[in-house]
Each structure stands twice: as structure tokens, then as C-alpha cells.
Structure 1
Amino acid sequence: MAINNKKHILMIDDDEDDFFLVNALLQDISPDQYALQWASSYKEGLMAIETRVHDLYLVDYRLGGNTGIDVLHHFRNLGYKAPVILFTGKGDYHIDKEAMLAGAADYLVKSEINAALLERAIRYTLDKYAHLQAIEKSEKRYFSIFEKSNDLILLADCEHKIVAANPAALQILKYEEAVLYNHRLQNLFAQDGQINAFLEQLCSEQGVVQQEYIFHTREGHLLDVIVNATLLDEKKQLYLCIIQDITERKRKAQEKQQQEKFAITGRIARLVAHEVRNPLTNILLAVSQLKSEPVMQTEDSQLYLDIMERNCHRINQLVTELLESTRMSELNMLPQGLNELAAKALQLAADRLQLNNIKVVQQLSEPDRQIMADEDKVLIALLNIIINGVEAMKAGDGTLSIHTYHEQDRVYIRITDTGSGIREENIAKLFEPFFTNKTKGTGLGLTATQNIILQHKGNISVESTPGEGTSFLISFPVV
């Protein structure tokens, strides 16, 4: 390579006179720029090429039993990219074309060479090669970013059709390339209401900047994503979309929020229990004393005392249930298959499902993933959700779906009903103690369910559309 700012050139030519001529021309026009080395045969030339120390190669077409095209093929076989100028005879136009196709950067007719022409050809070839090297380096850098990025990277055309996707996008969205390239960007959105706003921003001057959306994979799993998208090439109308999958981050944040909220609920429950039970005990003692001593009897005095005693016991029972639903109890943790637990929960609910003529659809992934679980407690949690689903559906006109799947280090179970659904403003209250839409019930079932799932380092979320149904998604860490 260049030493002392000189460009080192190897000339492969079996005519020594031609070497002296070329060297004289270079020294005449630019004595301090180039250092010329000579290889007098095809074999010697190949040996010199192996050293890879030259910036440029001047190769004669005729080299005894070989040709300059053979030399160009040798470069290709080595995987060595270097600028080569081929010397040809006058009128060898088919050779010139063949040389360019074989990888020559330029060609010169020997009989027409002069100092200016030679220096210009060498200078232009070296400049062009340096430029191509810079482009290749840049392309490799950006290709590496495209291929190795953990973020999803998509390219879309003017009709928003996906034309390129990096491996992360294919893996996370669960698509094969050919299938994904038949989709448009809007097909990735899980909520139709987000599509128009996205397309409107995409076509604006600033594009889409740090906007949060919900995507769905080919398998229907929901993804929380942050999207940055802009017009990459105005002429070709290509859009670049960089999409960050924040599903796991949001899940952990939600899990932490649920745990903190549940801890606060537990503290409030213990405080309420303490404050309620003290006067309640005094009332019960007073009622017991009144019932045991002869007092002035009225027609209804015994009835009123019975009502007071019965309701005191009822309040005491509710306080006990509240404490139980918010207390972290000791668990008997053993490896359990989630599919097996789902099957057992359905078996426990079989009578209710049959009585209400509810159709059950199961889609259980194989193999059955193991979780560390207290079987009795997890069955209670699953059964609470299944029974809620049954009660939300009309008898003879409902479907309960159980779907399990595995992603990364967690296993998921989705329990979906086709019932009356839950209004959006009530979803946030769903796990709060005593919140219920039922005419009967304490409203502690889902509080206890959330408690059990949180104790298992799990997470529970709810999606619901009034009039269409409700879906509970529960996840557990895999053993």
C-alpha cells in the first residue's frame, strides 16, 4: 500500500521495454506520486498479487499462454478487490468489453498511451476505487445495523406496502419474508382507530416521532410498540419505519404497578379489618349479654337482636374474606404443566358449562410448558375467570376459548368469553375489592385471583369490548 504518500503500482507484462516506457512516462509527469514494480510473467504476477501490497495493477492482455482476463479471474477467485487497468492492442474491442465484464476498472490501448493519458487513467481509477470502497464500507455498516438491530426495521413503498424487513421484524412479527411483503403497514395495527392517525403523520413533513401503537403478530398476539417513521427517499417514495417492541417493558411496569397497588390494598384491608372488628366484637358481646339476661321484652326485641347478631357475623365474614383475598399466603410450589392446569380447571367447571350449554374451544400449545405453581391456588384463579365468563354469557349462546402459548421465558394462557363485555371505565376497577356488576357476590373473586397470580410472579391483564366479550391474559415465568 502507499508508503511516504506514494501509490504502489504493479505492472504485469512480459515485455521489459513496455515496463521501462510506462515507468518513464510516470516519472516524467508525476515523479513523486507513483512507485512502479514489474512482474515479468503471469506466474510472477500471481505471486506478487498474493502479497496484496499494491494500490493499483497494470496488466497486459497477452501474457504468454495466459491473458489479462485470467489475471482478473484470479482476483475474483481470491476474493480480492483491487483496481486493475488492462493494456490491450488497437482494435481489440471485444477484449475491452470482456475485460470490463471480468472486473477491470479501465483499459488502455498500448499504442495510444502517453504520459497525460496514463496519469489521468491511473488517477481516475484510484479515485473511483476509493469512492467505491467508501460506499461499500457505508453499505456494510448500514447493512449490519439493519441485520443485527434488535428493533424492527421496515421499508415501505408509496402505497405503504412492505418491501423490506430485517430479521428482528420477521422474528417478532412471526412472518416469513414472502408473506410479510404482501402486507401493508396498516395491516400490522391491532386497532383500526390508530391507522388513519399513523398514515396522516407518516405523510406529514416531520413524519411519525416516538408514537405508541398496538400491533399484532401473524399469530394474533398483541405487541406494544413505539414507532419512528419518515420518508427515506423522496424520489423512490420509500418510507423507513423503526419500531421498538416495548411489550415486555410495559408488562414489567404493569406487573410492578399491580404489585404496588395490591400491597396498598392489603395494608388498607388490614387497617379496615382492625378498625371494624374492634367495635364489631363489642356489639356482638352486647347482643350476647342482652340475649342471656332477662330484660323488658317487646314483641320484636328478640327479632331485632337476631338481626343484629346475624349481620355482625356477616360483616365479620366479609372482613375475613377481604383479608384472605389480599394476604400473601404460603404456597406449595411444584412444577406444573399449564395445559394440564387449564384442563383441570375446565373439568371443575364442567357442570356449569354443560348446564349453560357453553361451547368450549381449546388451543393448547405443545409441549406443555412447566411453571412453578401451587396447584390448588392456580386452579382457584383460573376457575374464578372461567366462572365469570360463563356467567357473562347467555345460556346456549356462548363460547369459552382457552389458548396457551410460549414466548421467550414466559408462558401465556388467554381465557376469552363471548359475553356482555365490560365497559372501559370499569376495567381499571376490576381487581379492586368489592367491585362487582353481579347482583350477588362479594366482588372479591378477581381480587383473590390477582393475588394468586402475583404470588406466582405472574401478570394478568384484561381486554374487553361491550357486547362482544372479554379476554383475560395471564402469564407465568417458565421453569
Structure 2
Amino acid sequence: MLSEFQDTLLQSVKAYQSTELVKNKYENVLEHLDSGILLFDSEGELSFINVQMAKLLEIPRQSLIGCNLLQMLRHTHLTRFKKRKILRIYRETIFHRKKYHELIDEYGRHWLITVTYGDQMDGDYLLSVKDVSDYKRIEQTAYQNDKLAMLGKISAAIAHEIRNPLTAIRGFIQLLRPHLVQLGRDEYARIILTEIDRANDIIYEFLNSSKPSAPQKVVVSVSSLLKEVVLLTESEGLMKGCEINLRLPDEVMKISVDVKQIKQVLLNIIKNAMDAIEEVEGDHAGIIDIGAHLDGKFVNISIQDNGNGMDKALLAKLFDPFFTTKEKGTGLGLSVSYRIIKNHRGNISVDSMKGSGTVFLITLPLA
């Protein structure tokens, strides 16, 4: 009888140890996930927080265990920005019963918040936070490429539809020209033909700008390219009260690019920088800093201004075709620049804050 009891007790101890081993294994997995994890029990108290979530909150884990939401919000180490975000997450996921919520933090990173609760959780609430910034960038790039491809198709169709009647008008004016000469109105024919040719040139330029041709690449020095661009923009900068500074490293950096297209991109960004500086009210000394540095097998070209800057909503639409904040703008400049850089197997990004200026970063592969 005693031996049976001992066997049963031994089996129970082994089962407990096995259960604890599995529990510790799963806790270890949760501890080191790249997603932040919070687990609140049915009483609303925090029973588990992993390493990643503690890093995101920038608070020691042990000081949070056992806290409810209100106590967390009163924590002295929690920033005001994070408090606002936690309240918003609570409102969206718990109050409005949304199981998914997306937000952007103070550094511009995208986060996906998922809340799991219900019968399967026995009254507990599991909250996970994952950085989805890379996925958002990929999604935005695909979306941007789709829009630019559509723009190219629309442009080609418009150009074709307008060119056909212009060709017919030009032909009939040339047939009528001898009659206009007899009437002493040859000047009218000349003006009409000149304006038709101008309209054709505008269509051609629009078609080329909306759908850049394949780059005709040559190997050039980054330093000489940037010096030429500064030379072309210095006089306009002086007239608009902008100081253009060029800072180049000692290393020789060479890239294989279509010089005309890359100049178009750089000139467009610098022109936008001048316009942004003009928007600043009061006596404001405009500064545009242009620089380049090596980054592995790539060259990073930066253009920074101290202009008016942009908010996040404006940044999200910056490379959209036909999107412009200028009264006489076409909204094609930056969308075309985006396509040109992508055609060169490079990347273009922008960082800005309202009232604090803007930085464009162009990355191109070395030759």
C-alpha cells in the first residue's frame, strides 16, 4: 500500500516538474519574442510583461508587475506621449472592442497592436505590439509603383488624344496659308503654327516627365555632379535669400547614372527647399545644406533645409502624382523624381517636421 502511494506521489511530482518545464519553456519563448507582450488578469492587474515590451515602455519590468492600467499611467518613468498612446489603445481596443489597432510613435515607426480576450483566455487580456514599419514601407513602395504605372498609361492616352487633332489642325492651316498670304494675313498662319508646335512640345515634356525614359548611364564623380548642381542654383538662392552649403568628403565617389535625370531630381528638391524657406514668416535666413557620404556599396546624398517643414499627413502623400501644395504646381516633380531614382536601383526618402525643416536622402549604388 505504501509503495503504491509512493509511486503515485513520484508520478505526480514528475508530472508537475514536466508541466513546470513546459511552462518555463513557453515563458522563455514569450520573454524573447520581437513583439512586445502584456498580460492582464481578470482583475485588470498586469501579470506578465516580456523584455521587448519593457524596452518599448522604457520602464523596469518588476516595477510594472501587479499594476493596473491606472497605476501604469501614473508611473513616473512613463512619458506623456506614451500615456496618450496607451489611453488611445485602451479606447480603441477595449472600449470600442477593436481587436487590431495601428499607431505611429514619436520616431515615425508603425506599430500593430493586437488584443486577445474572451473565453479562450479565461477572462485574461493579452496585448501584443509589433513593429510593422518594414511591411508598411514595402506596401507604400508597391502602392507608389502602381500609381506611377497608372500615371504613365493615362499620360500616354492623353498625349495621343490631343496630338491627333493638333496634327489635323496643323495640316489644314498649312493648306490655307497661301490664301492667308493673298489676304495679307500670313502672320496669323505663322502664329497658329508656332502655338501648335508649342502645344506639341508641352505634351512631349509632360509625357517624358510622367514616364521617364530608361536612363542613359555614364560614370561620373559625385563631387563634380553636386558642384554643377550648386553652380546652377546659387544665383536663384541668393535672390531668394538662401545660402547653399556643399560639404563633400575626401573620398572619391563615382556612380553610374543618367546625369540629366539625376540633375533633374536634385534641382527639383533644391527648388522645393527654396520654396519651403520662402514660406517661413519674418526675417529668416535660409540655409540649404548639401552633402554626400559613403555607406558600404552605396552613396548617400542629403539635401537639408531650414524651411517650413511638413507634418506626417503631408509626408504620406509627398510622392503621389498630381499632389501639390503650390498654387501653380503640377504635382509631378517628386513623383517623377521617385521613379527616376528607382530606375537607377536607388532609394529616396524624406524626413520632416512642421516648423523644423526637411531632409531628403537619396541613395545610389556605387559604380
Instruction: Give the counterpart of 2:19 among 134, 138, 158.
Output: 134
- Are 1:278 and 2:159 matched, yes or no? no
Q: Report the CA distance shift for 1:333/1:317 in structure 2 as closer, same or farther (over 3 A).
A: closer
Distance 1:406 1:354 in 2: 30
- Residue by residue over 1:157-206, the C-alpha shift from the partner in whole angstroms, topping out at 9 and shown as x without a partner, is 9999x97533x996xx7x9999xx996376469xx7x665225346x468
Q: Is the 8 A contact 1:259 1:454 kept in 2?
A: no
Distance 2:256 2:89 in 1: 42
SS at match of 2:182: coil
Counterpart of 1:242 in structure 2 is: 128
Tell me the TM-score normalised to structure 1 length. 0.52
* Counterparts of residues 320-339 of structure 1 (less than 5 Å): 320-332=204-216
Q: Is the 8 A contact 2:59 2:77 kept in 1?
A: no
Instruction: Give the counterpart of 1:389 among 273, 289, 312.
Output: 273
Segments of 5+ residues of structure 1 without an aligned counterpart are 1-27, 35-121, 232-237
Distance 1:329 1:397 in 2: 38
- Are 1:224 and 2:110 matched, yes or no? yes
Q: What is the identity, as a one-letter code, of the residue corresponding to 1:310?
A: T
- Are 1:253 and 2:253 matched, yes or no? no
Q: What is the identity, as a one-letter code, of the residue corresponding to 2:206?
A: L
Distance 2:222 2:50 in 1: 37
SS at match of 1:226: strand
Counterpart of 1:437 in structure 2 is: 326
* Counterparts of residues 81-120 of structure 1 (less than 5 Å): none
Q: Is the 8 A contact 2:144 2:319 kept in 1?
A: no
Distance 1:186 1:418 in 2: 27
Tell me the TM-score normalised to structure 2 length. 0.65
Aligned residue pair count: 336
SS at match of 1:331: coil
Q: What is the identity, as a one-letter code, of the residue corresponding to 1:152?
A: S
* Counterparts of residues 33-44 of structure 1 (less than 5 Å): none
Distance 2:323 2:189 in 1: 27
Q: Is the 8 A contact 1:154 1:240 kept in 2?
A: yes
Distance 1:368 1:165 in 2: 44
Counterpart of 1:198 in structure 2 is: 89
Counterpart of 1:262 in structure 2 is: 148
* Counterparts of residues 395-434 of structure 1 (less than 5 Å): 396-400=284-288, 415=303, 417-420=305-308, 428=317, 431-432=320-321
Distance 2:197 2:205 in 1: 12
- Residue by residue over 1:100-127, the C-alpha shift from the partner in whole angstroms, topping out at 9 and shown as x without a partner, is xxxxxxxxxxxxxxxxxxxxxx93x774
RMSD: 5.4
- Are 1:153 and 2:41 matched, yes or no? no
Distance 2:186 2:324 in 1: 34
Distance 1:351 1:341 in 2: 17
Instruction: Give the counterpart of 2:101 among 207, 211, 232.
Output: 211
| Displacement of 1:315 | 1.0
Q: Which has the larger radius of gyration?
A: 1
Q: Report the CA distance shift for 1:134/1:341 in structure 2 as closer, same or farther (over 3 A).
A: farther
- Residue by residue over 1:111-146, the C-alpha shift from the partner in whole angstroms, topping out at 9 and shown as x without a partner, is xxxxxxxxxxx93x7745642442233122221243
Q: Report the CA distance shift for 1:201/1:396 in structure 2 as closer, same or farther (over 3 A).
A: closer
| Displacement of 1:277 | 1.7
Distance 2:29 2:248 in 1: 38
* Counterparts of residues 7-26 of structure 1 (less than 5 Å): none
- Specify which structure has the bigger relative contact order, considering alpha-carbon pairs within 8 angstroms and separated by 6 or more residues: 2
Q: Is the 8 A contact 1:403 1:414 kept in 2?
A: yes
Distance 2:346 2:149 in 1: 15
Counterpart of 2:261 in structure 1 is: 377
Q: What is the identity, as a one-letter code, of the residue corresponding to 2:91?
A: E
Segments of 5+ residues of structure 2 without an aligned counterpart are 65-75, 118-123
Q: Is the 8 A contact 2:37 2:127 kept in 1?
A: yes
